[in-house]
Structure formats: structure tokens, C-alpha cells
Chains A and B, each alone.
Chain A
């Protein structure tokens, strides 16, 4: 929570948080961005409404044929559970996520890394009442009675707006509910291991001079990695041309091969520096040799 920001890496966006496991390793969690959170919530909201509509239709059809008062009870209790329990019960499950969050690759976890208690999840989702349902119910009732004037509408929307936008006003993207529950929402997307880039099929045909390899640092190396993995022809051509120009190399027509080998050579060189404690973060850093 109050840890200093991790070392300023150029690509570190504002959503990575240092998180030390009991084993002493920093997992560097990625928080869910406001956009993903909103999308997850919309999916859940649509799902809740869909379940409600379908269940209502089914129960009403049954009610007209059977006339059992038990159905009314089922509906009322069902509505209550759906409204208050959808988020809480799903997040209490092993996945720590509602269906919407699961689709968006999010998960609710305790900020201190401990077990999520049921209490935390109840608090987290009870606050939704104040954040969203209260003003909307208020607005809905007033509108149904025809007494909703501009002021009431503005007030309700303003109230909801303050709470809905609350995550944008703090660094950790916390809802009011998260704040009170001691939770936050992190991304947990299963990534498959990308293929190795630095594996030459045959012996390298090119060799690079010391000067050519001392042009760049880790940041450029990883940018190059991104370019190679994305595999877009024109960006590869642009990058290859830039490197050739800077290193005074001649164009041999094989951009991809050139970049792959340059990547491997640069990687070996930088890693060797790493092993003896010489990190070169980017091209502006001192190229000690």
C-alpha cells in the first residue's frame, strides 16, 4: 500500500504494484484498469438483469397456471439474493471473481495478500448499495411517481457519478467498497510462454562489431523483442533500417533475419554485463565495457 514506487522503468505504467510474497519475491502485480473494471461490471449488470428478466417471466408464467403463493416468495427472495449476493457469492468462490471479472481476466484479492475473508467481500459489495442502487432506486421511484424533476435527476446522477468515478481519483483504482474491504482488483491473465527469439536455426551469418552492439541498452532490446514478436513487416523494416543506419551496416535485404541475429547478439552482450553487475538500462546510460 504505502511502498515506494518501484524503480522507474520507462515502460512501467501506473498500474504495477510491488507485492512481496512470504518467500520474499516481488510479484509486481498489475491492477485492473478502470476500463476493464467498467467492462466487467457491465457484463455482470447485464447478466443480473438477464437472469432477473428470465426468472421473472418463468415465475409469472408458472404463477398464472399454478397460483402457488410460494412462487411469489421464490421471486422476492431470489431478487434479494440476486441483488445482494451475485457479486459477493461469486467472489467468495475459489476464483475470486464474478463472471464478468473472469471474462475480463480480473480477480479480487486482499491488499495485504492474505486470505480474502467473507466479511471483506460483504463490505465490498454492500457499498454498491450506496454507490449505485440507492440513487438509481431513488431516481426510479421518483420517475415512476412522475415527481422526478431536473434537480433530483441531476442529484442522483451526480451522486452515482462521484462514486462511479471514485476509482479514477486514486492511484490504486479502488472503489469505495475496495477501500473499506482492504481489497483491490488485479489482472490474472494466463499468458502462454512466448517462443524464444534468440535461437538461431543455423550458424549466424552476420557478425556485429563492438560499436554496433554498444548502441543500445535493455529498454531498446525489449522494444526490439516486442517488434519481433508482433511481426509486422513495415515496423520490422523501419527498425532494421534505423539500426543499420546507426551502426553503418549495409542492407542485405533480409530484415527479419538481420533483426533476429542482432537481437540475439545484443542480448548475449547485455546479459554478460548483467552477470557481472553492469546493467545498462537504455541507450542513454553509460556504455561501460
Chain B
């Protein structure tokens, strides 16, 4: 290069200065565009700037490489590093739009995630069934167990000592119309929070999730043990079923998502523990988000549908239809080029 430049008595010109003079304008333009995207949005950027963005980004990247090898001006390198990093995340790390994500979630992501969790779902289902059986048997054996399992506030008078009439009233009595929607909202937020818990608790090697799922089944079993001996079994199942097929399914699925995380951490297989956890976390999260959607549906069915429809057969019909609908939606083979949930 300029061999005549000597440190003695000549105007010094370090590489950084030449380099800055040649490229500073491009860097500043890139900085302005990226700043604009960060501050506002991609839509605020004019079209020709948008077209120039990838080129400017690659120029800045190559400037960074050159600067690292030829320049000792650390301010310049720091500047280019942060500029390239910010531009990188605007180019490569940006989310697809919310609508696209939402559509993809309902069309592919959610059913695919649930399908890939079928083994965990089966375990979760069997645990629930086991819980129901155990809950039923021990409350039939000794009614005192009912209070240990269900708790006073949840029971609300529906305990083994209650009369047939009281119990019948809890199944069929209409509630105040204007409270229905509020009740539905309460049920939804409460259940969704439980679903998120049972998912997140999967992190502890799935043990708390298993307990939660079994306990959920035991509560159902305990209630069955109250209603069935009084001849209200058929009505009670209808009362549960109108929303229960959706709600229990959702809780089973969120439990399954928790199992997936717990087992991936405990038994990562050929992958590293970290990679296995990440893969499981993604699938699990999609299934769990889906479970929250299902609980919203269940909340509406329970809060409004059940209070309005007091006929056993309608309740059975709706519950069964929902169950079939969910099963078809999740497990019907579909032609999808995408692999498991992304």
C-alpha cells in the first residue's frame, strides 16, 4: 500500500481512517434503516431502503471482517459489531407475522404437536383413569376420604352426606342468567392457569405433573362416588361430559406436554440434554397453547351451555360431538409437508 507513510513527520493515516472514509456512508444508512425498524416497524421503511437492506448488511459484515484483520481502532470494530448484530436480527431473527403464525398453529402446528405426543397422551389418560378408579373406590370404602380429596370449598355441599334432592339440584338447577358469562370466564382463567402449571411442572422430571394429573382424576372419581350410589350417576356423567370431554382432554394434553419435557430432560437419548429439552419444549409449548384454547371452549360450554341445557341427552350429545370433533381434528392423517411442530 502506501509505503511512503512513515511514522516520522508525515501525516499519519491509519487503516481505520481510510476505511471509515470509504464506507461510513453505507454504515450510516444501514444504521438509520435498522434503527427505524427497531423504533417503529418494517412498514415504516421505504421500499428502496428495504431492497438495499440485505446488500448494506453484507457490506457491513465484510467491513467488519476487514476491520478485524486490518484495523486496531476498537471503536470502529465495536460499532460494526453492534451494527451487524442488530441488522442480523432484523434480517434473520424476525418473526413471521402474527396472522401467519396463528394460521400455521391451527392448520399444522397444533395437530402435529398433539399427534407427536400420542405416547405421553396415552400415559396421561391412563393416569387420569387410574385416578378416577382409585378416587371412586376409596371414597366408596370410607366416605371420610371425600373431604381429604376434594376439599370443602370445591365440594360446595355435594358431599356423601348430602340428600338426593340437594344433589339433583346441583345438576339441573338453572343459575342466574347474567352470571353465566362471568362464571365461564372464571372457569377458563382458573383451568388455563392449572394447565400452564401442569405443563411447567413437567420440568421437574414430570413427577409433579403426574401427581397433578392423577389427583385431577381422583377428584372426579370422588364425585362419582357421591352421585352414583344415589342413582344420579347418569345425570352426573352428562353434567360432567358436556364440557368434560373438552376440559379433561385439554388437561390430559397439557400433562402430556409436561411429560414430554420431563422425560426429555431425564432421558435425552442420543441428543445432548440441552438439545432434547429444547425440542421437547417447543412441541410441548404448542400443545399447551392448544390446551388453553380448548379450555376456553370448555369454559364456554361449562359456564353457559351446561347451565342453559339441562336435558341429559343434549348434554351427552354435545359432549360426545366435541370429543369426536377433537379426535378427528388431532389424529386425522393429513397431507402435510411440514415435519413436527415448528
A227 at the interface (CB under 8 A from B): no
B101 at the interface (CB under 8 A from A): yes
Indicate if the CB atoms of A204 and B11 lie closer than 8 Å.
Answer: yes
Interface centre among A28, A117, A192 (most CB of B within 10 A): A117
A58 at the interface (CB under 8 A from B): no
Decide yes or no: A94 and B42 within 8 Å by CB, A119-B289, A123-B285, A130-B201 being known contacts: yes
Residues of B within 8 A of A69 (CB): 178-179, 181-182
Report the bound CA distance from A80 to B184 in whole Å.
Answer: 14
Contact of B281 among A28, A114, A182, A207 (CB under 8 A): A182
Report the bound CA distance from A281 to B104 in whole Å.
Answer: 52
Indicate if the CB atoms of A191 and B82 lie closer than 8 Å.
Answer: yes
Contact of B189 among A79, A267, A269 (CB under 8 A): A79
Contact of B82 among A94, A190, A229, A274 (CB under 8 A): A190
**Would you give the shortest CB distance from B139 to chain A, in whole angstroms?**
26
Indicate if the CB atoms of A191 and B78 lie closer than 8 Å.
Answer: yes
Indicate if the CB atoms of A203 and B11 lie closer than 8 Å.
Answer: yes
Indicate if the CB atoms of B199 and A1 lie closer than 8 Å.
Answer: no
A275 at the interface (CB under 8 A from B): yes
Indicate if the CB atoms of B197 and A72 lie closer than 8 Å.
Answer: no
Closest residue of chain A to B15 (Cβ to Cβ) is: A271
Decide yes or no: A80 and B192 within 8 Å by CB, A27-B88, A268-B5 being known contacts: yes
Interface residues of A in 219-238 (CB under 8 A from B): 221-222, 225-226, 229
Interface centre among B9, B92, B203, B283 (most CB of A within 10 A): B203
Indicate if the CB atoms of A229 and B93 lie closer than 8 Å.
Answer: no
Indicate if the CB atoms of A198 and B73 lie closer than 8 Å.
Answer: yes
**Would you give the shortest CB distance from A269 to chain B, in whole angstroms?**
6
**Would you give the shortest CB distance from B91 to chain A, in whole angstroms?**
9
A109 at the interface (CB under 8 A from B): yes
Indicate if the CB atoms of B189 and A123 lie closer than 8 Å.
Answer: no
Report the bound CA distance from A185 to B280 in whole Å.
Answer: 20
B7 at the interface (CB under 8 A from A): yes
Interface centre among B74, B204, B261 (most CB of A within 10 A): B74
**Would you give the shortest CB distance from A24 to chain B, in whole angstroms?**
9
Interface size class of B (residues with CB under 8 A): 35 or more
Indicate if the CB atoms of A200 and B12 lie closer than 8 Å.
Answer: yes
**Would you give the shortest CB distance from A110 to chain B, in whole angstroms?**
7
A23 at the interface (CB under 8 A from B): yes
Decide yes or no: A28 and B7 within 8 Å by CB, A119-B341, A122-B289, A123-B282 being known contacts: no
Indicate if the CB atoms of A116 and B93 lie closer than 8 Å.
Answer: yes
A197 at the interface (CB under 8 A from B): yes
Interface size class of A (residues with CB under 8 A): 35 or more
Contact of B12 among A27, A113, A180, A264 (CB under 8 A): A264
Report the bound CA distance from A95 to B58 in whole Å.
Answer: 21
Indicate if the CB atoms of B282 and A191 lie closer than 8 Å.
Answer: no
Residues of A within 8 A of B15 (CB): 271, 275
Indicate if the CB atoms of A93 and B189 lie closer than 8 Å.
Answer: no
Indicate if the CB atoms of A267 and B79 lie closer than 8 Å.
Answer: no
Residues of A within 8 A of B88 (CB): 21, 27, 113
Residues of B within 8 A of A113 (CB): 88, 92-93
Contact of A198 among B14, B41, B65 (CB under 8 A): B14
Residues of B within 8 A of A77 (CB): 185, 188-189
Report the bound CA distance from A113 to B286 in whole Å.
Answer: 20
A126 at the interface (CB under 8 A from B): yes
Residues of B within 8 A of A52 (CB): none
Report the bound CA distance from A28 to B17 in whole Å.
Answer: 23
A144 at the interface (CB under 8 A from B): no
Indicate if the CB atoms of A193 and B86 lie closer than 8 Å.
Answer: no
A38 at the interface (CB under 8 A from B): no
B94 at the interface (CB under 8 A from A): yes
Residues of A within 8 A of B188 (CB): 77, 80
Contact of B75 among A116, A126, A193 (CB under 8 A): A193
Contact of A208 among B7, B13, B181, B201 (CB under 8 A): B7
A240 at the interface (CB under 8 A from B): no
Decide yes or no: A120 and B282 within 8 Å by CB, A196-B73, A267-B72 being known contacts: yes
Residues of A within 8 A of B278 (CB): 180-182
Interface residues of B in 263-300 (CB under 8 A from A): 272, 274, 277-278, 280-286, 288-289
Indicate if the CB atoms of A80 and B65 lie closer than 8 Å.
Answer: no
Interface residues of B in 6-65 (CB under 8 A from A): 7-17, 20, 24, 27-28, 31, 35, 37-38, 41-42, 58, 61-62, 64-65
**Would you give the shortest CB distance from A174 to chain B, in whole angstroms?**
9
**Would you give the shortest CB distance from B15 to chain A, in whole angstroms?**
5
Interface residues of A in 110-137 (CB under 8 A from B): 110, 113-120, 122-123, 126-127, 129-130, 134
List 13 other contacts, CB 8 Å, given A118-B289, A130-B200, A225-B74. A21-B92, A25-B64, A73-B181, A77-B189, A113-B88, A115-B95, A122-B286, A134-B197, A180-B280, A182-B282, A196-B16, A204-B9, A268-B13
10 contacts between A and B (CB under 8 A): A21-B61, A21-B92, A77-B189, A115-B96, A127-B203, A130-B197, A130-B203, A134-B197, A225-B73, A267-B72
Residues of B in contact with A (beta carbons under 8 Å apart):
1, 5, 7-17, 20, 24, 27-28, 31, 35, 37-38, 41-42, 58, 61-62, 64-65, 69-76, 78-79, 81-82, 84-86, 88-89, 92-96, 98, 101, 105, 109, 178-179, 181-182, 185-186, 188-189, 192-193, 196-197, 199-201, 203-204, 261, 272, 274, 277-278, 280-286, 288-289, 341-342
Residues of A in contact with B (beta carbons under 8 Å apart):
1-2, 21-23, 25, 27-29, 69-70, 72-73, 76-77, 79-80, 84, 92-96, 107, 109-110, 113-120, 122-123, 126-127, 129-130, 134, 176, 179-182, 186, 188-200, 203-204, 207-208, 213, 218, 221-222, 225-226, 229, 261, 264-265, 267-271, 274-275
